[in-house]
Structures are given as C-alpha cells and as structure tokens.
Amino acid sequence: MTAVLSGRHALVTGAGSGIGAAIARALSAAGAKVSLAGRRRAPLEAVAAGLASESLVVDGFDVTDEQAIARGLRAARDRFGPASILVNNAGEAPSAPFAQTSLEMWNHVMDVDLTGVFKVTQAVLPDLLGTGAGARIVNVASTAGLAGYAYVAAYCAAKHGVVGLTRALALELAKSGVTVNAVCPGFTDTPLLQGAVDTITAKTGRSQDEARAALSKANPQGRLVTPAEVADTVLWLASPGASSINGQAIAIAGGEVMTG
C-alpha cells in the first residue's frame, strides 16, 4: 500500500479490538505512526505486535477521565510529536428496554460514547490546529446515530449526539483546514456485536447462528459489515484525497441507511 500517511501521527481510542484495531492496522499500513489508546494493556499490545509502522501502547486511557486523557496524550506527544489524525472510536452499547434503562446506565453510555468524544477531541484539538491543513478528526458513530433501534435508547441518543457534534465542529474548524467526519457502521462483526448476540440468545433461546442471522437481515446485502470495511473508510477520510469531505456522516451498512 502507498504510504499516503507517512510521517503522520494518528491517535486511535478503543484500539484494542474490533473496529479500533482494524483502523489502527489500516492507518499503520498507510505509513502513520499510531498511538493505540485504551484502558487495558494486553489487547493493545497484541494489536501493536502486528502493525506495519511504529506504534505506541497508551493504556489506562479512560475517555471519561480528563487526567487519564492528559497523561496518555503527553506520552503520545513525547513519542511521536503532536497528533494530526484523531479517531474517536471508544464506545459501549449496553441494551435494555427503555423502561428498564437505569439513570446509571444512561449516564455511563453518555459519558463514554458522547462526552468521551468531547473530552478527547478538546484535549487533542491544539495538536490538530497546530498541524492545520491536513489534520483530521474521524468519529466512529453508528447507524444508530442516523436512525432508531429498539432496546438501545441510550446508545442511539449518544450516537445521534456524536453525529451532531461532528457537524457542528466541522463548520467551526472548516477554515483551519481540519476536517471532521463521522463513520456510521451498521451491525459489524466485532466483540461488541457478539455481546448483542449473547443477549439475544439468553433472552430468546435462539442459537448463536440464528441471532447473528437476525442481525444480518438489517443489512440489505444480508451480511454483517467487517471491521476492515469501516477501517478503509476511515483511511480514506484521513488521506489527502478527502480534504474536501467535511461534516459528513457516512453510513457503512450495505444500504440499510441512506443519507443524502
């Protein structure tokens, strides 16, 4: 692959598995130096071992904790200099009927999935503005940020918030040369989705295969999205060729959700 991101420093949150790990691999293959941010060291190290370019494991990176974010960002800057690409991927998606969604669950999902994006972006913003033209923010939202799904009210609300934040910040930063976009995957074959499968099997008695098939039906292509497909879209948004793409929420869902 052409090293279109050679010399760039990318910070990826939630980089230890699933979509975050795939994004880290794609950016690394394109030549970026990648800071792998997440709470647990072991999965981050496993991802780092397979990367094509230099990387740094930034563990203890809790997107709800400003001090943890500051510590992690200092370590990343010390190793690779200011970040010019930020990928906000960390997130959680617990499910419950709305009537059984506790305020504790609601607040936790908002803290991780929405306020975490705010906190990390605000902390990294001076780096991005210092880079100027060519700097990128890519927020990993979801089709849940473009449509509604039953039993994940908190997640839907948070991801709608991420899309709104993306659009607002894109306009605010447009003249700086920093672009801000969101990718919105549909049901994607990740450990997060496996949690949904386990919940379905526990509550309905359906098999794992039946539960996965039910989720796949949401996609008109009749399949789950792969993490690599999401990563390819993020790589494009981070590349020089996407410099005019700004404020977009790109659905990666086989036609389940169409934006226009």
Residues 13-42: pLDDT tens digits? Answer: 999 999 999 999 999 999 999 999 999 999
* Superfamily, domain 9-186+226-244: NAD(P)-binding Rossmann-like Domain (3.40.50.720)
Question: What pLDDT, in 10s, does the model give residues 50-100?
Answer: 999 999 999 999 999 999 999 999 999 999 999 999 999 999 999 899 999
Higher per-residue confidence, 1 vs 120: 120
Query: What is the pLDDT, as a whole number, of residue 185?
Result: 96
The predicted model gives 215-234 an average pLDDT of: 89
Residues in the chain: 260
Alpha carbons 242 and 85: distance in angstroms, whole number:
13
Average pLDDT value over all residues in the chain: 93
Work out the percent of the chain whose per-residue pLDDT is above 90.
80
pLDDT of residue 33: 98
Cα–Cα separations (whole angstroms), residue 188 to 96, 146, 226? 20, 16, 6
Beta strand pairing call for 179-185 and 55-58? unpaired
More confident residue, 110 or 200: 110
* pLDDT > 80? residue 196: no
Ranking 75-84, 142-151, 212-221 by mean pLDDT, the lowest is 212-221
| Every domain of the chain and the residues it spans | 9-186+226-244, 188-224
Distances (CA, A) of 177 to 108, 120, 129, 168, 234: 33, 19, 8, 15, 17
Determine the pLDDT at residue 80: 98
- Say yes or no to pLDDT of 163 above 70: yes
Mean pLDDT confidence for 168-175: 97
- Higher-confidence position of 49 and 133: 49
Closest C-alpha to 167, from 221, 108, 245: 245
Q: Once rounded to an integer, what is the mean pLDDT over residues 251-256?
A: 92
Q: What local confidence, expressed as pLDDT, does residue 209 receive?
A: 75
Instruction: Return the pLDDT at 112.
Output: 98
From 20, 32, 144, 155, active-site residue = 155
The single-letter code of the amino acid at 57 is: V
Least confident of 115-129, 214-228, 245-259: 214-228
The yes-or-no answer on residue 149 being catalytic is no
Q: Please tell me the predicted confidence (pLDDT) of residue 248.
A: 98
Q: Smallest Cα–Cα separation from 24: which of 34, 14, 9?
A: 34
| Whether the Cβ atoms of residue 90 and residue 38 lie closer than 8 Å to each other | yes
Task: For residues 232 and 227, give the distance between their C-alpha atoms in angstroms, rounded to a whole number.
Answer: 9
pLDDT in the model for residue 215: 77
| Two structure tokens written together for 192 | 């997060």
Banded pLDDT at 1 (limits 50, 70, 90): low
Cβ atoms 5, 27 nearer than 8 A: yes
